[in-house]
Structure 1
Amino acid sequence: MRNTVPIWRAAGESGDAAAAVTALSPEAVLISPITEQFTFRGHTQIGGLLEVAFATIDDITYTDQVAEGRTVALFYRATVSGTPIHEAQRLRLGEDGLITEITLYIRPLPALTHLMTTLGPALARRNNQPGLARVIPVAGGLLHSMAATGERHIMPKARPR
């Protein structure tokens, strides 16, 4: 069995997309935490996403790891433009020990919507869609504004007492 998970963790904490790709099976898939509309497939697509993500997400620090068989759950904390973010990653490993599937989960909601408004335009530009890169922050910004307002002003009123 390879040292895939330590390689993946170290690459995330150092922001090294090329090193992260070495932990992936050539057929690996990454399931987006933002939308069910697409997944990233293979080294090229996932590597491109990781380059953009590592340029957007700061100070990744893995805090926990849980494993059962060939499934590993990793948890980290980081920031996106100063906004705290927490991510859970479910990694599925193939028989060769390489990662075959990554499913990402992000909280809290304002962190996810903030990530969408920063990551989305960079991905659109990378895919030669400059018009879409201009639209995403507007549409995502509305959603982020609602999520952030709810987080700061509405949900505190409903907290346990």
Structure 2
Amino acid sequence: MEPTGDDRYDRTIARWRAAGERADAAEAVRCLAPDVAVISPLTARFRFHGPAQVGDMLAAAYGVIDGIRFHTAVGSGDTRALFFHGTVDGQQVEEAQLLRLDAAGLIRELTLFGRPLPALTAVMQRLGPPLLRRQGRPGLARLVALATRPLATMTRVGDRRVVPLGDPARGRRAS
């Protein structure tokens, strides 16, 4: 019997969350509509389209982000937002996912948002090269690794050494 109401959506969301927490890209792909599109937090230059491209992206992401644990879910019907914590290179990362589902209850659009910046740049540095290697583009993978390393380093060091100087809890000097 076909599910009614929010059941089909709720089942997909439960399967999606479980797949993410187990880093199971194959199971996550089973939650996707044939025309799925993923909007990345890292670039506005392109989107991932279709289960094959999204599956490659998820497999690479699950290889980079450790210990995914969803902590909040909001929404109803065909529009949901999920939030998780994880780590990348020992840094805490939080991701928000806006999911839009089709009439069959499958994910047709996934928009990703991440924070904080040092973790996001670490994801960018670590995600691009394996994804490009999966696409059979090893030369571009090396170039992306070299190009993203300085940004990841700058944001990590800046977050540790410079950003704390602007902490509002630090005393203000009298002018």
Category of TM-score, reference length = shorter chain: over 0.9
- Deviations 1:50-104 (CA, angstroms, capped at 9, x unpaired): 1111111111000000114421110000011222111000001112211110000
Question: What are the ranges of 5 or more consecutive residues in structure 1 without an aligned counterpart?
Answer: none
Give the counterpart letter for 1:149 in structure 2.
V
- Deviations 1:128-152 (CA, angstroms, capped at 9, x unpaired): 1111111112211111112112211
Give me the TM-score of the superposition, normalised by structure 1: 0.96
Return structure 1 stretches of 4+ with deviation > 3 angstroms.
none
Is 1:57 matched with 2:55? no
Is 1:12 matched with 2:20? yes
Is 1:98 matched with 2:106? yes
User: How many equivalent residue pairs?
Assistant: 161
Give the counterpart letter for 1:86 in structure 2.
E
Give me the TM-score of the superposition, normalised by structure 2: 0.88
Structure with bigger gyration radius: 2
Aligned partner of 1:143 in structure 2 is: 151
CA RMSD of aligned residues (A): 1.1
Query: What percentage of residue pairs aligned between the two structures are identical?
Result: 47
Q: Secondary structure at the match of 2:162?
A: helix
Question: What are the ranges of 5 or more consecutive residues in structure 2 without an aligned counterpart?
Answer: 1-6, 170-175
